[in-house]
Amino acid sequence: MKAYFPNLFAPMIGVMLSGCASVINGQNQDILIETACMNRQTKAYCSAAQGETRFDFSTPARITVARMPKPLEIRCDSSISGVYGVAAYPFPSLSVAGNVAVGGLVGVLADGLSNSMWQYNSRIEIEIPWCSSLGKFK
pLDDT top residue among 53 and 23: 53
Q: What is the pLDDT of residues 45-87, one digit of tens each?
A: 999 999 889 999 999 999 999 988 899 999 999 877 788 889 9
Helix axes 4-17, 104-114, angle to 10 degrees: 20
pLDDT computed for residue 123 by the predictor: 96
Decide if 66 contacts 28 (C-beta within 8 A).
yes
pLDDT computed for residue 131 by the predictor: 72
pLDDT top residue among 129 and 50: 50
Side chain identity at residue 73, one-letter code: E
Lowest-confidence region among 9-13, 15-19, 37-41, 91-95:
15-19
Side chain identity at residue 22, one-letter code: S
pLDDT top residue among 99 and 4: 99
Alpha carbons 31 and 40: distance in angstroms, whole number: 19
Alpha carbons 42 and 50: distance in angstroms, whole number: 24
* pLDDT above 80 for 4: no
**Model-level pTM?**
0.69
